[in-house]
Structure 1
Amino acid sequence: MSGSTPRTSTPRTVHLGVYDTLADWETGHATAWLARAGFEIRTVGPGTDPVTSIGGLRIVPDLALAELRPEDSAMLLLPGADLWDTSDDLAPFAATARTFLDAGVPVAAICGATAGLAREGLLDDRPHTSAVSFYLAATGYRGGAHYVDTDAVTAGDLITAGPTEPVAFAREVLGRMGAFQGAQLDAWYRLFHDSDPAAYEELNA
């Protein structure tokens, strides 16, 4: 029997790109709270060999990028890494992001990963943000008119944020995945971004 099998349900697995020099601090809020909301977090490396983060954490990927299929995933998370700006080694992750978006599966990119998406042409026609506008402009992309100077941006199935905004990034991811919504999502953000003690009770009400 040929042809693809239609989705019968939405996957509950979120895939996290992991690669040498990845920025440890950028996706921790998102992955921790997605896991608490019942999502399985699986790591995806260039291969299955261990990788090492900026902070020296050694991570053994659950699967190789070549094995990843959009139909098996609820979202692809791409953290920043020095490698986004120093080589083309991570370009296959940006190409995979294109495949995900074409399939209607959300992608969330932060810091250097936004530059990778810019080089792939994925930010040319979508509202987006990053560290600063001229960081993306240096990639030669054509999406400067769509740059938004804010903490994080959700544009359809694409979420972007800069390196200093891991909490805002997580807010957009958690909202997109339905982990928190409405007043509860706002309370989560006020607790972890603003250290608002009143938000704790609201979040756990």
Structure 2
Amino acid sequence: MTRKTVHLAVYDTYADWETGHATAHLVQNGFTVRTVGLTADPVTTMGGVRIQPDLALDALDPADSGLLILTGASLWETGDKLAPFAGAARTFLDAGVPVAAICGATAGLAREGLLDDRAHTSAASFYLEATGYRGGAKYVEADAVTDGDLITAGPTEPVAFAREVFARLGVYEGPKLDAWYRLFHDSDPAAYEILSA
């Protein structure tokens, strides 16, 4: 594997819609997306799609990855079953490998203490406050936030989330990054010409 491999965490109740823009355009730009489950057993997304993970979490090594993506899921709110993924995020960040978390995954990172000292966003500030974390002063009211190797976004911002992923990995830059966002977020037809140039 190379740093062109991105790992996508998958688990029961995984929020299907939150990573489609990011993963599709990463693959179209030469990246490989590999799915990671708690185990190698199949999972079922919130939309009822069955996914067979490519590998189990205990086989995941930051040295083999360019990014770990964590999505929302009902399970982030119903116990600590997904806590091992927040632990993996810590391992990635400690190794200098980026982590991108959207929706409920931000609460998992908050519980792990990973948002205490990093600028971040989520669904709402009070959503994260309910985790008992100490990072309230670092909360930013924005569609998506990048602080070094950590990307966060709220549940209604999959396009902004993808934009930050692309910027961090150098997939699109400058005018092309802006055009990609305007095309997919704002439906701006003028952006297509810039993106396809």
Q: TM-score, normalised by structure 2?
A: 0.99
Match of 1:88 in 2: 80
Unaligned runs of 5+ residues in structure 1 are: 1-8
SS of corresponding position for 2:141: coil
Is 2:31 the partner of 1:39? yes
Q: 1:53 aligns with which of 45, 51, 62?
A: 45
TM-aligned CA deviation for residue 10 of structure 1: 5.7
Identity %: 75
User: CA offsets per residue over residues 29-76 of structure 1, 9 Å max, x none?
Assistant: 000000011000000000000000000000000000000000000000
**Structure 2: stretches of 5+ with no match in the other structure:** none
Is 1:182 equivalent to 2:180 in the alignment? no
The residue correspondences of 1:71-150 to structure 2 (distance < 5 A) are 71-150=63-142
Q: Kindly state the Cα deviation for residue 189 of structure 1 after the two structures are TM-superposed.
A: 0.1
CA RMSD of aligned residues (A): 0.9
Letter in 1 for 2:40: T
Equivalents in 1 of 2:82, 2:170: separation in Å?
29
The residue aligned with 2:11 is: 19
Q: Which has the larger radius of gyration?
A: 1
Aligned with 1:173 (options 152, 162, 165):
165
Deviating 4+ runs (over 6 angstroms): none
Residue type matched to 2:146 in 1? T
The alignment partner of 2:162 has SS state of: helix
Partners of 1:75 and 1:146 lie apart in 2 by 23
Task: Tell me if 1:28 matches 2:20.
Answer: yes
- SS of the equivalent of 1:183 reads helix
CA distance in 1, matches of 2:5, 2:95: 16
Separation of aligned partners in 2, 1:120 and 1:189:
31
Distance 2:93 2:74 in 1: 24
TM-score under structure 1 normalisation? 0.95
Return the alpha-carbon distance in structure 2 between the equivalents of residues 164 and 11 of structure 1.
Answer: 28
Q: How big is each residue's C-alpha offset from its partner over 1:8-46, in whole Å with a ceiling of 9 and x where there is no partner?
A: x96110000000000000001000000011000000000
